[in-house]
Chains A and B, each alone.
Chain A
């Protein structure tokens, strides 16, 4: 039995995935659960294991191809059938690839109005003429004198059919002539086909303009994208920018008006297409900038207590398999602040504010090929050890592309670490649809003045700048600073649940 290998559903909101790399080629023997290919989706990159053992007989989605979830991307033959398909598939693949696309007929120019108008004076059909027509006709009743315009309407026929009703049953014309053909293997519903296939014309326009019609909202039957829909879509400015808008709660953003510069590849200029991940990061960043009213507040925080705690517990944690960094402490301090100021943990939906009980803290992880934000779920339910383990684990799996889609979704607040390479601080961009993000600067020993009962003193302290970027649409500066003051106090007092 051949097995279809499909593009997996990597999370609920994900509709498509891009094949990045095939690790097997046609003819290769594949073991069940052995990585077959690598994909990139809106949320994660992942290696996809083989659903069954067998010979890879056919690759249907080439590297770089973006296909809908559940589309067949490859076929495996059963183990017993190894000999037959081994010879066949490569030939089949070649012929499919080289089959030329049929060229549509191009009708000539449309005749002008003048031409047709000149030779046909418009006849007034409803010119009610004395109808002596057929008066002398041997077989025709002379009684009729109704001009065309007054032709009586047929009594029993109803007006225009309701589209929904029409959608449920085949058109009468086609039912009579092609009813038999409908029993084919095609299992997608009529509604689904209308949405995805639209019409020959729309498909052609979409192809020529490299448009994915599933990104267009259709006004036709079953939500079908009509000719007008796709033409409007193409005319609408910024349409392309909205193409990948994922979160419905994000107000659609427009791309900044940058006058296009044309670059030419040459000796000193190399042009590389963006990766899927890069395109998505680019898109998310722009959308965020256009969505939120970004403001950044900066706090100088004394990390000396954390330093001490780290020193004291480092080995103890290492024994239990966890690397103790600053991050678990920061996360716990944030949780304390978020509990007191829940609006920092909210989202905006239109004109409403959505508060969430879950405190899911996303942590930006820099990768060689981009950036990903795994989420520490219910961070408030974990002690420092639990947080340390979770953060280590997520970071490790982010670097090895082993994250599941669920692990990068559902964040309510994000932390990013611009200080990792010695930066003093950074002003991060909010991770939509959240409303705030904390940028952690580098922790550095500085001479600071402290006030004691015995008088002021200059001492050496581990200092860090924490920058909070918040959405001023719903968070005012005073509130943001109160939140940060709470975080700062928690850190400086070393009030952690270890």
Chain B
């Protein structure tokens, strides 16, 4: 790493950072209150825990809708398109290269913030795990309306079981995710980037074709006028 020149780059926009930390707070509150409602410990008291959980859950649902809107309108969704290209290189890097001090095979660029492993991980979380949590949570919350909505074939214990299993998934992701933030060129580099928006990334790394978030039929420069690499 030391041989490469680092350039301070604005990676994460204000909304992205806001969303990231808002979601962090919401998820932490949901985990904390959710496991209390599940009877794991007593902290806020069952009543408060369940009321806070319901309120925060619904707030998350609404905020997530804005995130989806942002993804679609800015085209940022393309950052989540999964790929197998260099996937093994990235896996290899985290299993071995990182210990040897090798450079990251897919360093961050503004136009490609996620490496193939992140793409698949974040896509699984954002498109699969979180929607399952939100759907099962919403159904759980709306239990009393099931009959009116023609959903009385649903089973509360099944919904609850899915929701609890999902919560373990989210907690597990959280642990892995927080750890991965320490794997930058310094321990806090990634976290700093998610707070300030700026991260030092390697200079002169060319974006590869598959990483380019170019709209079909339109030149990349039209999308990203400030990118000299496009």
**Do A and B form a real pair?**
no
